[in-house]
Amino acid sequence: MILVTGGAGFIGSNFVMNWLAQSDETTINLDLLTYAGNLQNLSSLSSDQRHIFVHGNIADSTLVNGLLTQHQPRAIINFAAESHVDRSIHGPEDFIQTNIIGTFRLLEAVRAYWNGLNEGAKKGFRFLHVSTDEVYGSLSKTEPAFSETHQYEPNSPYSASKAASDHLVRAYHHTYGLPTLTTNCSNNYGPYHFPEKLIPLMIVNALAGKPLPVYGDGQQIRDWLYVKDHCSAIRRVLADGRVGEVYNVGGCNEKPNIEIVHTICGLLDELRPRSDGSSYREQVTYVTDRPGHDRRYAIDAGKIASELGWKPDETFETGIRKTVQWYLDNQSWVSNVQSGSYRSWVEKNYQGRG
C-alpha cells in the first residue's frame, strides 16, 4: 500500500491513475481539494476498491497520524503543494502554509511512523518528495542546464516555499535517517491540467474566442515534460533511487513560450478550425510581464538516465498533440472546472496588463 498526497491535482491524479493501471497495490489518496484539486479527475476510479480517497490536509497531524497507523503504507509520494507562481505573487501565505508548514508536519508524522516500524519495514520504506526546477532560479541562454548540485536561487514566493520544503526533506534524511527521495521536474503538461497554466489556458481561451495573453516578449524558455513521462520517472525513482538522493526529471524539450503558443494555434487550426477561417494566432495578445519572471529553466536529466535508465517517451510534438486533442475531447471537464472563482482569478491576474 502507498499513500499519495495531493493525488486529486494535475500531476497527482495522473500519477494515481497511472499507478493503478500498472499495479494492484492499494493507493490512499489524501487531498484537501483546493481550487486545483478535482475529484472529477479520478472519476474512472470511482468504483475501484484499490483507490481510497481521504479529504484532508497534510498539515493535519492527527489525520495523517491516523492514516499511517491504520493503513501502514510502505511509501509516501508527496505531491501536495500550492504550485502557481502568479498566485504566489498575489497571495504568498497559502504557499508558506502548505509548502513549508504542511511539509514539516507531514515529515514529523512520517518520522514518528517510520521509527515505529520493524527493521525490515523501516529498510524498505520510502518518502518521495516531488519538487520543481524553479528552486534553482533562472538561467541565461548560454548557461548549462540545472544539475542536481546547482545552487538554489528561488525567485518567487512559490519557488522559495518549494525550496524550503526540499531543504526540510534533505534535513530529515541527514538528521533522522528518514529514507527520502526528491525529484525536481521541469514544466509538466497534459490531461487534467487546471486552465491557469500556459498550455491549458491557451487552448481554453483560443476555443472561447478570447485573447491569448503572452507575458512580455514571449521568449521565456522552459523545458516541457509530458505528465505521463513524469509519472514513469517517479515510479523508477521510487523503485530504485538511492536513498537521500535528488533526481532531476526533464522532457528534453526547451522551448520559448511564444513557440508553445504558436504550436497550439497551429494544432487547433488543424483540429478545430475557426469558423471565420482565420488562424488562432490572431488572438495572441502581448501583456505586461509578471514581476520577477525567470527567463529560462533547463533540466539536465543525465543522472536519472545513467543511474535508473529513465528517459521520456514523448517528444514535445507528440505530447502537445495528445494534450490538445484531450482538451478538445473533454470540453465538459473544462466547463466544470471553470467555476466563478476561477474566472475571478483570471480577471484579477490579467486586468490592466494589456
pTM: 0.93
Q: Tens of pLDDT along 72-112?
A: 999 999 999 998 888 899 999 999 999 999 999 999 999 99
User: Which residues, including other chains, have CB under 8 Å from residue 290's CB and lie 6 or more apart?
Assistant: 85, 86, 89, 215
Q: What are phi and psi of 125, to 5 degrees?
A: -70, 150
pLDDT for residue 354 is more than 60 = no
Question: What is the second-level CATH architecture of the domain 2-188+226-252+295-313?
Answer: 3-Layer(aba) Sandwich (3.40)
Q: Tens of pLDDT along 5-43?
A: 999 999 999 999 999 999 999 999 999 988 778 888 999
What is the pLDDT of the chain when averaged over all its residues? 94
**Torsion sign (Cα): 64, 67, 70, 72:** negative
Q: Give the pLDDT mean for 326-347.
A: 75
Radius of gyration of the chain (CA): 20
What pairing do the DSSP bridges indicate for beta strands 284-287 and 221-226?
Answer: unpaired
Quote the pLDDT of residue 345. Answer: 47
The domains of the chain are located at 2-188+226-252+295-313
User: Which residues, including other chains, have CB under 8 Å from residue 323's CB and lie 6 or more apart?
Assistant: 189, 190, 191, 193, 199, 203, 226
Model confidence at 254, pLDDT cuts 50, 70, 90, reads: very high
Whether residue 48 lies in the annotated active site: no
pLDDT for residue 179 is more than 50 = yes
CA distances from 97 to 82, 100, 165, 340 (A): 9, 6, 11, 24
Catalytic residue among 31, 82, 133, 223: 133
Whether residue 176 lies in the annotated active site: no
Whether residue 269 lies in the annotated active site: no
Quote the pLDDT of residue 323. Answer: 98
C-alpha grid cell for residue 169?
A: 526533506
Q: What are phi and psi of 135, to 5 degrees?
A: -65, -20
Catalytic residue among 136, 158, 215, 226: 158
CA distances from 201 to 97, 103, 189, 205 (A): 26, 29, 11, 6
Burial class for 182, CB neighbours closer than 10 Å (0-12, 13-18, 19+): buried
Catalytic residue among 134, 166, 294, 314: 134
- Cα dihedral 256→259→265→271 (10° resolution): -100
299 SS3 class: strand
pLDDT for residue 349 is more than 60 = no
Q: Is 145 left (phi over 0), alpha (psi -120 to 50) or beta?
A: beta
Q: Tens of pLDDT along 115-164?
A: 999 999 999 999 999 999 999 999 999 999 999 999 999 999 999 999 99
Q: Give the pLDDT mean for 292-298.
A: 93
Give the percent of the chain with pLDDT over 70.
Answer: 95
